[in-house]
Amino acid sequence: MTAGTGTHRHWLPIGIRAERRLETPRWLPIATLAIGLLVALLISGALIALIGGDPFLVFRHILNASFGSLGVLSDTLVKATPLIFTGLACAVAFRMRLWNIGAEGQLFLGAWGASAVVLVPLLPPGVSPFVVIPVMIVAGVVAGALWGGIAGWLKARFGVNEIITTLMLNYIAIQWVRFWVFGPWSEGGFQLSEQFPREAWLPRLTDFAKAIPDFAGLTIHLGFLIAIACACLVWLWLARTRTGYEIRLIGDNPRAAHYAGIDIGRMVILVMLVSGGLAGLAGMSEVSGSVHRLQDGFSPGYGFTGVIIAYLARFNPFGVIVAAIAFGGLILAGREIQPAGIPSMIQGIVLFCVICSDVLLRYRVRLVRR
Amino acid sequence: MNLEVILAAGIATGTVLLFATLGEILTERSGVINLGVEGLMFVGALAGFRVGLDAGPWVGLLAAMGAGALLALLHAIVCIRFQADQIVSGLALTFLGLGVALVLGDGLAGTASPQALVPTITIPILSDIPFVGPVLFTDQSALAYLGYLLVPVTAFWITRTRPGLHLRAVGEAPSGADALGISVAGVRYRYTCLGGALAGLAGATISLAVTPGWYAGQTTSGLGWIAVGLVIFARWDPWRAIVGAYLIAVIRRLTLDLQGPPELFGFPNPFFTYQPSTFFLNMLPYLMVILVLVLGSRSARRTGGGAPAALGIPFVRGERGR
């Protein structure tokens, strides 16, 4: 599909021509996204059929098990909560074309930082939740931000490729958390800490079941609202502030940004701090809102799925929310789907199809008569 | 702890890193970044193991290379024909490779049968050389020797042959190469698939030689990502790649050996007396990757890092890089 010429298929009476687009209409990105998702659905279905499954059954199962009732919808939103945070973390960094693939590690560090408040403990026991929760949030954000900041500093100071450092830091972070849950914080030699006291739990809807009986069993927690608030803040930051403008400028044209006098090294560190902080919040909200303890392997790759979510959303914070809820459903339903690789496979296919559909943004495809 | 044993074991794992790194060097020299090495290795490990069970190790290795090349072809189509973002496509490839390997490997988990293993070879005269012999030439798998050979061959191919010249031209100055009548897309397709085949071979080296068997998600333990980092450390030079690959692999092995003895240098060994502290040892290989990149950064900056000039930029005739 080279510019202007297009491929020639002489055995057909009509041919396909690709022409370079000079401008992109506003509706086009959404249309191409829809096309990409549709193709991804078809390919996934075909693959499931190929390995002997019934694609309609699998897809219906995914829909029922993730959005079928109020209860599972609440569970889906619980899974979506860390994904919104990691999706935002990736979106912020990717908008500057800074490839933070380390949201997973920053999430682990955030969870560790938040847990330290309860498990060290940094606060005396029995303190009001109105103190414990904010302190845990700050600890999680700071730990995640510092972990991301390391990669940012290495990039700004030494020019070390951030993809590699953030990835390596993922493995190191997972080992770091393992040390604490197998060692100092281990409960009875198991690879998990003791359960947090109630004042360290983010409030859930089910906690209010006494007042409103309909809320019984709904595990959606305050983290979801914090995630929505963060999405709004990130949108404001990127779209309405000077720093956000600089981030977008660096992403679109680093050379122009450099000549405009923007200190790119400083921005790299800043964005990695923010991105790491957001991913750290994912870890905090997960241990405080859902798991209620620190344990090995509590994340089924939320940080990596954040990459896909950010890309699906085209780095738009509100798009991140939508994509995160969809993938939350996929992860929730995916736990019951055998073999275990299907969700990962679908994620890969979705990402491929979406980036391929981007070609429609750049080229107008025409059928021409020979 | 026997230094020769540690180094010999390091060579074995280093062969995995070496294949993957050489493959990625060839791919990136043509101007295409493929971050999906980890996914390709998963698929290679599974294909090698599965086919090796029925048809023996050699067919298994071929199957792994074929599977790796096939998946890399997908990356090539997406990056070259659709001109999509190579970074994201590589990430997608990682997800896809892991997913496909887990789906197809469902229920296969376990160790390989002995007849599916790549045979080990001791070279008669060379193995008698003191120190070098026991490390490099005694009871190494046939793949380790393939690794020794592949480095000079790749280096010669890139720097001294006509196809190698075309490869470098496409990676450094695609417009110039295009004007000379070299097919930029053709070269990129070929070397992306070749890189994928080598990544698949690296995966099969794990499942058929180093730690024989299929261990689902635990099979590659990040070796593919380390290989991507090593390419930068190696500055796209096969000779530096062999140094990096063996260095990281020896450190990985050393972290296992440090956990064994009750005493180290006359002091009680903390990794023996307090088990959880071994998790710090597990961090070492990943820390080393970061460290070598930082240490190499100063000279890399002076020389421009050695990265191919057109790395990651899709080629469109008549257009300067986007």
How far is Cα B196 from Cα B105, in angstroms, rounded to an integer?
A: 20
DSSP B101: H
Give the distance from residue B37's alpha carbon to the nearest chain A alpha carbon, in angstroms.
13
| pLDDT tops 90 at residue A362 | no
Give the count of alpha carbons within 13 A of B68, CB side only. 40
Report the pLDDT value the prediction gives residue A3, as an integer from 0 to 100: 44
- For residue B22, give the nearest of B295, B245, B299, B313 by alpha carbon: B245
Q: Write out residues 204-223 of B within 8 Å (CB-CB) of A.
A: 216, 222
| pLDDT tops 80 at residue A15 | no
| pLDDT tops 70 at residue A2 | no
Average pLDDT over residues A353-362: 82
- Mean pLDDT per 10-residue run, chain B (322 residues)? 83 94 96 94 93 89 96 94 87 90 81 74 84 83 93 96 94 92 94 97 92 80 89 90 92 84 76 82 91 80 73 78 42
**Do you find a cis peptide bond into A339, omega within 30 degrees of 0?**
yes
Higher pLDDT, A38 or A361: A38
Q: Do B294 and A154 touch (CB under 8 A)?
A: yes
Which pLDDT band holds residue A90 (cuts at 50, 70, 90)?
very high
pLDDT in tens, A121-145: 888 888 899 999 999 999 999 999 9
Report the pLDDT value the prediction gives residue A10, as an integer from 0 to 100: 58
Do the Cβ atoms of A80 and A327 come closer than 8 Å? yes
Which residues touch B10 (CB under 8 Å, ≥6 apart)? B246, B249, B250, B251, B252, B253, B254
Please give the mean pLDDT across all residues of chain A. Answer: 89
Nearest to A345 among B85, B99, B298 (CB): B99
What was the ipTM of the complex prediction? 0.87
Report the pLDDT value the prediction gives residue B278, as an integer from 0 to 100: 85
Q: Do A159 and B316 touch (CB under 8 A)?
A: no
Q: Which residues pair with B54 in a beta bridge?
A: none
- Helix (H) / strand (E) containing B264: strand B263-264
- As given in the structure block, the two tokens for residue B314 are 């899709």
Average pLDDT over residues A171-199: 90
Report the pLDDT value the prediction gives residue A5, as an integer from 0 to 100: 45
**Site from A100, A155, A175 to mutate, B interface, most B CB atoms within 10 angstroms:** A175
Burial class (CB in 10 A: 0-12, 13-18, 19+), A246: buried
Q: Write out residues 170-209 of B within 8 Å (CB-CB) of A.
A: none
The string of DSSP letters for B41-71 reads: HHHHHHHHHHHHHHH-HHHHHHHHHHHHHHH
Give the distance from residue A302's alpha carbon to the nearest chain B alpha carbon, in angstroms.
13
Report the pLDDT value the prediction gives residue B295, as an integer from 0 to 100: 85
Report the pLDDT value the prediction gives residue B320, as an integer from 0 to 100: 56
Report the pLDDT value the prediction gives residue B127, as an integer from 0 to 100: 82
Q: What are phi and psi of A255, to 5 degrees?
A: -65, -45
Q: Which residues pair with A14 in a beta bridge?
A: A369
| pLDDT tops 80 at residue A16 | no
pTM: 0.89
Q: Do B96 and A349 touch (CB under 8 A)?
A: yes
pLDDT in tens, A191-235: 889 999 999 999 998 888 888 888 888 889 999 999 999 999 999
Burial class (CB in 10 A: 0-12, 13-18, 19+), A362: middle
Report the pLDDT value the prediction gives residue A301, as an integer from 0 to 100: 85
3-state secondary structure of B315: coil
pLDDT in tens, A140-160: 999 999 999 999 999 999 988
